Amino acid sequence: MAVAEAVPAEERLFSLVLALVATEHGLTKADILSSVQGYRQRYQPGGDNATLERQFERDKDDIRDLGVPLETLESPLEVGNNHLLRYRIPKGAYDLPGEVVFTAEETTLLNLAAEVWREGSLSSESRRALLKLRSLGVDVDDTTIGYAPRVRVREPAFDALAEAISRHLVVRFDYVKPGETAAVTRSVEPWALVKHEGRWHLSAFDLDRGAKRTFLLSRIVGTVTKTRTTFTPPDGDPAEEALADLQRVFDSGQVIVDVVPGSDAELRLEGRDRRTGIEAGEGGRRRLVIGCSDPALLADELASYGPEAKVVSPESVRAGVIERLRRVARSHVPVGEAR
């Protein structure tokens, strides 16, 4: 199933640690590559997984460099057979030192953090990994694997699209294009779900237009309807191709913004500044140059900063911000005054 957000390295490592802590007898390399988040998306049963195996070897080194006690266990029946090596993280060796204690306030905060991270005890990704490991005869600790490494916020359409991708089913959904208010029904072959710049996108073949299209999940309105019509997935890796296309669009977009020093706008945008050093803008502001893959979404964000951010160029984004601010102003005219 081509569902990828180009899983971040930290999430892959966290998922690997969870899986290795959750098993008492250890997991083989095949168990890990076929089941753990960040590996299983690229695993090819019976195929060439050399690149993925090299990734796992690097991840093992990274985990050990972080101080995690990862153990390698040889098979007593075939000593020296690397294919039968098992990996695990002994729970006792990974516990906090006995002298580490928390105050009541710290314990409360940790409990709150745990509740935020918990995703209904088991996330859908964790459930799939858990079932896969159990089908391989691996004993796992449900309570350990039930914690997600970070808060997950997915669009309502995500699960239905992910299922359609895995089953190769054509889907229909209503979609609102940027700058429009009316939704249009799209019938597509869903190829891949990818996450770029913090937003989920669907790479698909639009049957009505006869061309490949990328859809932003947040613009899908209503429910996704899965049909009974199947399709043959394209050759290659549609997820990687979609991410590369989105990145090219992002790199080609350039928006110049002047922000008020010390403002919320500067704090949120400075990490996306493409220039080194600090450049002065108009009126004592700081000038930032940021990438843009979706002018409408960027205009939404910049308008939310109010007077803290001023778009210098391009004019299309500047006009988009102005229109949004005018819309807000019109909606707040006191009752009885002319609009």
With 50 as the cut, is the pLDDT of residue 310 above it? yes
Is 338 within the bounds of a domain?
A: no
Predicted confidence band of residue 202 (pLDDT cuts 50, 70, 90) = very high
The pLDDT, as a whole number, for residue 134 is 54
CATH of the domain at 173: 2.30.30
- Domain assignment present for residue 4? The answer is no
pLDDT at 149 over 90: no
| Structural domain contains residue 337 | no
Percent of the chain with pLDDT over 90: 21
Helix (H) or strand (E) holding 238: helix 238-252
Q: 304 pLDDT exceeds 50?
A: yes
Whether the predicted pLDDT of 53 surpasses 70: yes
Question: Which pLDDT band, with edges at 50, 70 and 90, does 119 fall under?
Answer: very low
Q: Does some domain include residue 76? A: yes
Whether 17 shows a pLDDT value over 70: the answer reads yes
Shared domain for 233 and 299, answered yes or no, is no
User: In this structure, are 209 and 286 located in the same domain?
Assistant: no
8 Å CB contact between 196 and 247: yes
**One domain, residues 165 and 233:** yes
Region 81-108: what's the mean pLDDT?
73
pLDDT tops 70 at residue 339: no
Structure tokens at 79: 């000593």
| Residue ranges making up the domain that contains 265 | 253-331
Q: Are 245 and 305 members of one domain?
A: no
Same domain, 267 and 232: no
Assess whether 88 and 171 both reside in one domain. no
Span 11-34, mean pLDDT? 85
pLDDT of residue 147: 41
Q: Are 136 and 31 contained in the same domain?
A: yes
Of the three residues 86, 113, 145, the one that is the final residue of a domain is 145
* pLDDT greater at residue 46 or residue 186: 186
Q: Provide the domain count of the chain.
A: 3
**Residue 220 scores a pLDDT above 90:** yes
Pair type for strands 169-175 and 27-28: unpaired
**Per-residue confidence (pLDDT) for residue 124, from 0 to 100:** 52
What letter represents residue 28's amino acid? T
- Of the residues 249, 267, 293, the one at which a domain ends: 249
Is residue 243 located within the same domain as residue 268? no
User: In terms of C-beta density within 10 A (0-12 exposed, 13-18 middle, 19 or more buried), how is residue 38 classed?
Assistant: buried
- Both 38 and 109 in one domain: the answer is yes
- Last residue of some domain: 234, 249, 264? 249
Cβ(228)–Cβ(270) below 8 Å: no
Range from 116-120, 205-209, 245-249, 303-307 carrying the lowest mean pLDDT: 116-120
Residue 153 forms part of a structural domain: no
